[in-house]
Structure formats: C-alpha cells, structure tokens
A and B are shown apart, each in its own frame.
Chain A
Amino acid sequence: MRLSYILAAWRMSVRELLRSRIAVILFFVIPTLFFAIILLTTTHQEIFFKLASVSEEMFISVSQREEALVFIGLAAVGLLTSFLAMNLTQKHAPANRRLVLCGYRTPELLSSKFLTLAGLIVGIGVYISLLLLLFFQPRRLPLVLLGFILAGFVYGCYGLMVGAIFKRELEGILFIVLLANIDIGWLQNPIYYAEAQNRFIIRHLPAYFPSQVSMAAAFSEHSVLAPLGGSLVYGSLLLLAAGLVFGWKMRVKK
C-alpha cells in the first residue's frame, strides 16, 4: 500500500464528509435528541441490573437516569457512526471504481475511508462523553469513552459493510436502523438483559461487548479487558467483511 495515495484519498474523503449537511446536522441532533428524551422520561429512582460480562449473578444498583444516559449515549454513537460510515463506502461508489481503474488499489481506498471513520469515531465518542458529563460523573470516564469508541468501531465497520453491499441509501438505512434499533437501542439495555429469556442471542449482537465496557466502567471497578477484546475482534471481523465486499464491488481487470 502506498501512503501518499492513502493520504490523498483521506483528505478528499474528509472534505466530502464535512460538506455533507445531513452528516453535520445528525452529529448535533441525534445526541441532543436522545439525551433530551432520557432527561424527560426518566427519574432518579434506583434500579438493579446485571453486568453480564462480569458475572451472571452480580447485580448493580444505580440511578435509572444515569443508566439510561450511558445506554442512550452508546445508541447515539452506534447509530451516528454506522450511518456516516455507510456514506463513505456507498456514496460515489462508481466514481471510486473509476479511481481504481486509474491506478488506486482497493485497500488504499478502503484504508483512507477507515482513517476518516476512525477520526469520526473519536470525535463522536468525545462529544457524547462530554454531553454525558453535563448530567453525571461516571466512575471511570476514560473507560466509558473507550466503550463509546468501541461501539463506534463495531457499528462503523458494520456501516462500511452495509454501504459496500447496498447500492441505494434507503436499503442501507433500513439495515442500519433495524440492527441499531434492536441491538444497541433495545436488547443491550442491561435492564432488559436481566429479564431476557434467551441471552445467547443478545451476547452475540454487535453492541454487546462495547456496551459492557461502558456500563462496567461507568458503574463499577470491574475489569473491562474481556469485553474490550471482544469488541476488537467483532469490529475487525466486520471490517474484514466490509473489505471483502468493497473489494469485490471495486474489482477491475488490469
């Protein structure tokens, strides 16, 4: 891979992203809206939930609002990163293929898009962590931020894959919203998890490991190493799948 090619494509990819009005609007609207809904609909009543990655028997007692804020922060990161990542591989796909025809290698283009995504993930993670701080102080903020970044990594790679698979935005959005809604917006909520009948499915969905990192970091002193590793493996597998589909779509005979 040639670094100068990657950097040139990365610069263009960042410019494209910054000029996308919908991306900028969503960046501010989604977290604000999600946090506002939580503040309007929750109380400080104490609730109990399981930290699934630590022990099936261990319950933690926290404020309903604080738990919901961390959970909705994860949902906001997942939804935003997957949507923006989808744009990176889906938008201008035929023009990207022309670039490959003109001399780019597919891994170089994908790397530039992943670099842009990485910057986005960190930006969104920091922004949502700062918003969270307005309402409460998690026990280990840096690790909560790490959980947000991991959620962005896993869902961002999912978005790259969806963007590479579907030609049209509507199908892509449907697949993103469907998974994000079911997984990071519902099943991974520890309150639901505690009562769920089939936890096997929940433990294998993309947001499981990142949400465990953030939850364990926000409300306990337990180690987050296992879910951290799980998140990295899950995200890497999705990235690999995205790379394979993107490579197939961009193929040219030279």
Chain B
Amino acid sequence: MVDVLEVRNVAKAFGRRRVLRDVNFSLRRGEMVGIVGENGSGKTTMLKIIVGLLSPSAGEVSVREKVGYCPQEMLVFETLTVDENFAYFAAAYGLRQGPGTDGWRDRERFLLSRFRFAPYKDMLVSNLSGGTRQKLNLSLAVLHEPGLLILDEPYSGFDWETYLYFWEYAAALKAAGACFLVVSHFLYDRGKFDKVYELREGVLRCA
C-alpha cells in the first residue's frame, strides 16, 4: 500500500537548540497514528514541518493526500461568527456553495450537528467558550473532507460526550480510508491507534 505521508530523516534546530533529530515514520491509508510527548518535546514543531508552516533543517516530508490541519492554538477569526468562519475557510479550500450540489453548506450543517454546536452558528467566536471554539477549530480542519488529518491536541477542552462523538466520527472517517496523525500530551485510549510513538528529546520511538 502507498504511504500517504512519509517523514524521512527530519531534523530541526532553532539556533543551537536541536528540537527534532532524525525523525522517520510513515502513514498509510486508513491508519491512525498517535504521538505523545512532554511539553516542549517537539511535537507541534514536527506537525508544523509536515503541514508546511516550518521548514526542516534537514530531511524531507512527502504528502500524497489533501491535508486537514487542526492547530493547537485556536486559529479562527474571533470577530466573525461561526458561520462566517465556515464561509471564509470554505472559500480558502475552494469549496462551492452552489445550488443543488453537495456544497460546503451541507458539510457545515453536518459538522455543526456532529459536534453539537449548531445553536452557536450565528454567534461571534469571541463570545464562545473554549470548548466550542475548539469544536470550530477542528471542524474547519475537516470541512473539505481531507484524506490526511493532522491534529494537534484535537480534543482539548471537549466535554466527555463530545470527546466520544469525536472518536465516533474519527472511526467513520478511518473506515472511509482517511488517515490520522494525532498529537497529544497523553492519549487516553491507546487502543484506538494503530501505532503510538513517543517523542523524547527530539527522538521518535515506538511507545
């Protein structure tokens, strides 16, 4: 099976500080990989290199699928409503609203209902709770139905029920062939992952 994501010999240093050392791993279609590590172990740096927000000091990354990236910070527009944020990111993905087609409005309705934040659709993001903002942050990453999901602390701030809904949705996507790279301080349900790695002092090891 062809690898959807390949990370080969990736290293990253900020000045003299070496954050990542010779990181190697790959992801196949329908695979779910988790990466754990302490604060400052380089998890977010690695994800930023994979999605293109940072350049590696050495090594290379190959991506062969549409990427959906959910950053750790809530990178959304606070002075826009939830609905307007959906519209803005739909425009960025090049999704059409067109009548009679399965446009982004249907996806928006689906995600609002799946993550149970439909009542907040017309509220300004600045007025939302942290958990609801995170639901939006995550929804924007999957709006365009990506084949490769790169999720940085995706369920932080979720209540238990939403956490369960998230896994239910992730399982459905996985069954449809999407692959996941999930990064967290700790993973509650290791059984849900096909592989779990640990990043310690910039070195990736099987956990």
Contact = CB atoms under 8 A, between A and B. Distances in A.
Nearest to B54: A253
Interface stretch (A95-103, A120-128, A179-187): A95-103
At the interface, is chain A mostly helix, strand, loop or mixed?
Answer: helix
Interface residues of A, number: 23
Nearest to A93: B75
Nearest to A18: B79
A15 B51 CA distance: 29
Contacts of B44: none
A252 B89 contact: no
Nearest to B126: A19
Contacts of B77: 12, 16, 92, 95
Nearest to B51: A101
Interface range, B side: 20 to 34
Interface in B53-102: 53, 55, 69, 71, 73, 75-80, 84, 87-89, 91-94
A93 to B, nearest CB: 10
Contacts of B88: 8-9, 12, 99
A238 to B, nearest CB: 26
Interface string A1-27: 000110011001001100110000000
A11 B187 CA distance: 40
Contacts of B69: 98, 101
A229 interface: no
Nearest to A105: B92
B128 interface: no
A44 interface: no
A104 interface: yes
B171 interface: no
Contacts of B91: 4-5, 8-9, 104
B84 A252 contact: no
B75 A16 contact: no
A254 B62 CA distance: 10
Interface of A: 4-5, 8-9, 12, 15-16, 19-20, 91-92, 94-95, 97-99, 101-104, 252-254
